[in-house]
């Protein structure tokens, strides 16, 4: 039989729990009512061809990075550019008393909430279906596309005319506006520059809701500010992309190095060579065994007997990945070019692997990995990626410290490393790169295993990234983040360096209320209350 004191304690405890739950639910109701009442009535009745959704907004609070969740008050599904312009202009006219901001969302592939806005309006750029894609086949061919169009769709459409864009990203299921707001870089950048170097014209909606056509000659300041501008000056609603004759086939080659100096020297040799390869990238392999056996499913060893004898023995290895484009009728000439340029390289001879694939299969190669990861439930996980531009003069020190001491394995995502030529980049754009003629992209494209507390867990990877960044800041001069992420304006000022004042000036002209893309955390909308 229980004591009276114990019974009284239980009764009081039950009353406390019941009271707490009532209070908790009341708070949720009050908060929801506040959010609903906080939606300006003028936004609800805004005349649009498309529509604003105020209920189903949770998907706009997630991205590929899977680490940040900022819920908007509404998602705009525009049918036309005028819908985007009308919404932004309306928010602009509400003035600084409104806390509303706007974020353009493409395929949701941002890493740290850059395409999110807390309590603002997210624009679903993939909703725009007009104008339809148009390919022009004159002497200087190009394609006109919506800012919400996927690069994979542009590839398929332009190939109908025997043409294709010159510069790509490794992953093609991204929107035009998304990659042009950053730079868009892959293994073709050494020759053609990033994607932002291959744009002829843009249509932009500014932070005032103005729709402007721009190019180097027309509204040039806006044109260059938006390219690599992290969405801070306007939303890209249409782009004119340069095209070139497209090949049908690709010779895809991989070779290994045990020595980083030889690896870097060969990469730098190839990006300066004429008619060598059309794509040049490298990646780092740490603490991996059975690597060549994995390659055998899709690549053929040039010397099967020697390749079977190769042992990695847990060494850090560097893979040079090359591609030579060709058409079947030019196969012999392409083979001669490949053999000639490979003969000048200092790779481990027994590790030469090659295959031939279609141009489409090569460019869309990452999507194959995506399908496999999705089938295993390993795609929608945190992706704490880190992308850096390293000056050529610093790359050997970087490799020695990072690949020798900080990184212990690369089993949870590739580590890319390859050089590009600064001469192929336009310094009038907003993107920030090192000041040397050659610099390297180093990309740690890691996936975290949910709930893991080991080396493949989120906390360990974030700590690893922090150590790399601290080393760069402490020791290496001129290192810049690509797809940058900072939390204070002081850090952004350091990132932009001499470009910061120009960046500020452009912001004051094209988005003076700081309405656009607050998820970058560069500017905060100035608000006043009356």
| 3-class secondary structure, 488 | coil
Return d(Cα 513, Cα 33) in angstroms, integer: 27
Query: What is the model's pLDDT at position 289?
Result: 65
**Sign, Cα dihedral of 224, 227, 230, 233:** positive
Residues linked to residue 358 through DSSP beta bridges, in sequence order: 249
Token pair for 371: 């399908």
Given this model, what pLDDT does residue 367 score? 93
pLDDT of residue 49: 94
DSSP 133: P
Residues 6+ apart with CB under 8 A from 268: 392, 419, 438
**487-526 burial, b if ≥16 CB within 10 A, otherwise e?**
eeeeebbebbeebeeebeebbeebbebbbbbbbbbbbebe
Whole-number Å distance between alpha carbons of 324 and 356: 10
Q: pLDDT of the chain along its 530 residues, tens only?
A: 445 444 544 555 554 545 544 444 444 433 434 344 467 788 999 999 999 999 989 999 999 999 999 999 999 999 999 999 999 999 999 999 899 999 999 999 999 999 999 999 999 999 987 778 999 998 999 999 999 999 999 999 999 999 999 999 999 999 999 999 999 999 999 999 999 999 999 999 999 999 999 999 999 999 999 999 999 999 999 999 999 999 999 999 999 999 999 999 999 999 999 889 999 999 999 877 667 777 777 898 888 888 788 887 778 999 999 999 999 999 999 999 999 999 999 999 999 999 999 999 999 999 988 898 888 888 899 999 999 999 999 999 999 999 999 997 766 889 999 999 999 999 999 999 999 999 999 999 999 998 898 889 999 999 999 999 999 999 989 999 999 999 999 999 999 999 999 999 999 999 999 999 999 999 998 754 33
| Catalytic residue numbers, as ranges | 109, 170, 281
State the Cα torsion 194-121-94-233 to the nearest 10°: 0
CB-based burial label for 38 (10 Å; 0-12, 13-18, 19+) = exposed
Q: CA angle 472-383-321, nearest 5°?
A: 70
What dihedral angle (degrees, nearest 10) is formed by the CA atoms of 176, 178, 184, 187? -80
The pLDDT of residue 258: 94
Distance from C-alpha of 166 to C-alpha of 192, rounded to nearest angstrom? 7
């Amino acid at each position: 039989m229980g004591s009276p004191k114990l019974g009284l304690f239980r009764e009081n405890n039950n009353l406390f729990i019941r009271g707490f739950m009532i209070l908790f639910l009341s708070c949720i109701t009050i908060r929801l009512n506040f959010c609903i009442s906080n939606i300006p009535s003028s936004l609800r009745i805004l005349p649009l061809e498309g529509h604003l959704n105020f209920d189903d907004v949770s998907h706009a609070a997630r991205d590929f990075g899977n680490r940040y969740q900022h819920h908007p008050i509404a998602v705009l599904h525009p049918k036309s550019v005028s819908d985007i312009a009308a919404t932004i202009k309306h928010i602009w006219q509400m003035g600084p008393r409104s806390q509303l901001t706007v974020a353009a969302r493409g395929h949701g592939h941002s890493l740290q909430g850059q395409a999110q806005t807390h309590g603002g309006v997210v624009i679903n750029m993939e909703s725009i279906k007009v104008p339809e894609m148009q390919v022009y086949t004159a002497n200087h061919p190009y394609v006109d596309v919506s800012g919400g169009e996927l690069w994979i769709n542009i590839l398929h459409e332009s190939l109908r005319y025997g043409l294709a864009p010159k510069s790509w990203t490794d992953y093609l299921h991204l929107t035009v506006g998304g990659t042009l707001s950053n730079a868009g870089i892959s293994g073709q950048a050494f020759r053609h520059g990033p994607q932002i170097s291959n744009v002829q014209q843009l249509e932009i909606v500014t932070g005032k809701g103005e729709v402007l056509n721009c190019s180097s000659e027309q509204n040039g300041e806006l044109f260059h500010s938006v390219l690599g501008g992290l969405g801070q000056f306007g939303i890209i609603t249409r782009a004119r992309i340069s095209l070139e004759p497209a090949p049908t086939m690709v010779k895809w080659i991989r070779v290994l190095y045990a020595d980083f100096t030889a690896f870097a020297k060969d990469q730098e040799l190839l990006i300066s060579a004429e008619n060598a390869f059309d794509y040049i990238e490298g990646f780092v392999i740490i603490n991996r065994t059975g690597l060549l056996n994995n390659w055998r499913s899709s690549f053929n060893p040039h010397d099967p007997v020697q390749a079977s004898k190769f042992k990695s023995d847990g060494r850090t290895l560097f893979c040079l990945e090359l591609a030579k484009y060709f058409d079947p009728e030019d196969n012999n000439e392409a083979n001669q070019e490949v053999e000639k340029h490979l003969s000048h390289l200092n790779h481990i001879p027994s590790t030469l692997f090659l295959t031939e694939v279609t141009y489409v299969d090569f460019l869309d190669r990452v999507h194959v990995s995506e399908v496999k990861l999705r089938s295993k439930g390993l795609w929608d996980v945190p992706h704490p990626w880190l992308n850096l531009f390293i000056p050529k003069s610093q790359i050997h020190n970087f490799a020695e410290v990072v690949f020798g001491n900080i990184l212990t394995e690369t089993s949870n995502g590739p580590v890319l490393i390859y050089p590009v030529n600064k001469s192929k980049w336009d310094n009038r754009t907003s993107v920030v790169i090192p000041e040397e003629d050659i610099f390297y992209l180093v990309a740690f494209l890691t996936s975290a295993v949910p709930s893991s507390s080991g080396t493949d867990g989120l906390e360990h990877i974030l700590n690893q990234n922090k150590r790399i960044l601290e080393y760069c800041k402490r020791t290496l001069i001129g290192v810049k983040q690509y797809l940058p992420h900072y939390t204070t304006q002081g850090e952004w000022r350091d990132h932009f360096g001499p470009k910061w004042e120009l960046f500020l000036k452009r912001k004051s002209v094209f988005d003076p209320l700081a309405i656009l893309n607050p998820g970058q955390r560069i500017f905060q909308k100035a608000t006043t209350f009356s």
